[in-house]
């Protein structure tokens, strides 16, 4: 047979997914081309026509047939698991919890936490102490508050008077014609004042008398010391307790059946003779939570009387210092 008489078997053995137009046959008796494309599934290859010799056209098919194309699109099953309807993504609250727990504490954070704790504890203690101090004034009566204010005003006035007295002395020294004589006079006056404070000279003047009767034996030395300190703060210039002069170096201690003042044992009733301004001394003892209320809680009886003349005649022997000497020339 000639080449024209042999039927053409150029159809590929496997058809790709896309359709390929059929090649018209040139053999006689073949059907004319219909102009329509024939599509076959990629999974089912078309049957090859048999030749006269009984062999299939697959053996004569060209060896350059292209393999079927494989789609590169991701399948639905390959989608991330987080996008599925059964596993929702993490919420903001869950992320915050995961970030805070378990805690990750560093050394610097631990030190800062300890410092803040100490600061907060100190502030709490300070607030508590301030509230305890103010509780007595908050519970005080109106007349007690007025008395405390009057006492503060009297102390301020006393300090102003002392300031004016010192300024007057300075002016007298500067303006005096005989400055030596004026200095000598002021020195003698100052020595008398210091003698009163040191207990080496007797003193008299207005003041108060306070008597403490301790029938139960509950009054201790610290209570009497509180009374002395309160009187000094109110402006007491000379104090005498049961014939013992109280000075700057006076000490008190408990003794059998009484109290020891500078080694001198005294017993109840305790009589205080105090020289100073009565309008300042008496309110200082009667303030809320003060000396009188404290002693009355111990079942002691306290009486305070004002008088125009108080004599403090108990004396202390002057003590010469062993090492200190005057530096003035």
**For residue 105, is it within any domain?**
no
Domain with 159 in it = 150-312
**For residue 168, is it within any domain?**
yes
Encode pLDDT of 290-329 as tens digits: 899 999 998 999 999 999 999 999 988 877 778 887 765 5
**For residue 56, is it within any domain?**
no
CATH number at residue 258: 3.30.70.1880
Quick one: which of 65, 57, 58, 59 has its CA closest to 7?
57
Give the separation between CA 6 and CA 27, rounded to whole angstroms. 7
Give the separation between CA 312 and CA 241, rounded to whole angstroms. 10
Q: Is residue 1 scored above 50 in pLDDT?
A: no
Residue 320 or 82, more confident: 320
DSSP character string of 76-145: GGGS-GGGSTTSPPPPHHHHHHHHHSS----HHHHHHHHHHHHHHHHHHHHHHHHHHHHHHHHTS-HHHH
- Contact (CB, 8 A) for 151 and 284: yes
Structural domains counted in the chain: 1
**For residue 32, is it within any domain?**
no
Average pLDDT, the chain: 75
**The predicted structure's pLDDT at residue 79:** 43
**The predicted structure's pLDDT at residue 135:** 63
- Contact (CB, 8 A) for 233 and 251: no
**For residue 75, is it within any domain?**
no
User: What is the value of pTM for the model shown?
Assistant: 0.49
**The predicted structure's pLDDT at residue 311:** 93
User: In this structure, what token pair is assigned to residue 298?
Assistant: 């111990």
**The predicted structure's pLDDT at residue 24:** 46
Give the separation between CA 63 and CA 66, rounded to whole angstroms. 9
SS3 230: helix
Radius of gyration of the chain measured on its C-alpha atoms? 58
pLDDT category, 170, cuts 50, 70, 90?
confident
**For residue 306, is it within any domain?**
yes
Give the separation between CA 156 and CA 148, rounded to whole angstroms. 13
**For residue 98, is it within any domain?**
no
**The predicted structure's pLDDT at residue 175:** 76
Integer angstrom CA distances of residue 158 from 92, 98, 113, 165, 233: 71, 70, 51, 11, 12
**For residue 296, is it within any domain?**
yes
Average the pLDDT over 187-201 and give the result. 84
């Amino acid at each position: 047979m000639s080449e024209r008489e042999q039927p053409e078997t150029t159809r590929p053995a496997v058809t790709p997914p896309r359709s390929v137009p059929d090649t018209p046959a040139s053999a006689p008796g073949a059907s004319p081309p219909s102009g329509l494309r024939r599509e076959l599934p990629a999974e089912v290859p078309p049957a090859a026509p048999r030749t006269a010799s009984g062999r299939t056209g697959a053996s004569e098919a060209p060896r350059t047939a292209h393999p079927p194309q494989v789609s590169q699109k991701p399948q639905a099953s390959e989608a991330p698991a987080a996008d599925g309807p059964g596993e929702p993504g993490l919420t903001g609250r869950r992320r915050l919890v995961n970030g805070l727990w378990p805690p990750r504490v560093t050394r610097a954070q631990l030190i800062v936490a300890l410092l803040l704790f100490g600061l907060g504890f100190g502030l709490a203690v300070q607030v508590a102490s301030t509230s305890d101090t103010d509780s007595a004034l908050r519970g005080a009566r109106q007349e007690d508050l007025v008395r405390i204010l009057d006492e503060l005003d009297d102390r301020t006035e006393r300090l102003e008077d002392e300031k004016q007295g010192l300024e007057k002395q300075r002016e007298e020294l500067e303006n005096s014609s005989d400055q030596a004589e004026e200095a000598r006079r002021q020195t003698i006056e100052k020595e008398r004042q210091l003698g009163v404070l040191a207990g080496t000279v007797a003193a008299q003047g207005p003041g108060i008398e306070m008597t403490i009767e301790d029938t139960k034996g509950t009054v201790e030395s610290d209570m009497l010391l509180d009374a002395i300190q309160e009187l000094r703060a109110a402006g007491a210039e000379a104090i005498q307790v049961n014939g013992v002069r109280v000075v700057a170096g006076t000490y008190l201690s408990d003794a059998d059946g009484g109290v020891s003042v500078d080694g001198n044992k005294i017993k109840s009733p305790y009589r205080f003779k105090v020289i100073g301004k009565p309008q300042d001394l008496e309110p200082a003892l009667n303030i809320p939570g003060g000396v009188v209320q404290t002693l009355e809680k111990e079942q002691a009886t306290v009486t305070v009387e004002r008088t125009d003349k108080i004599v403090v005649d108990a004396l202390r022997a002057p003590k010469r210092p062993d090492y200190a000497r005057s530096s003035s020339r």
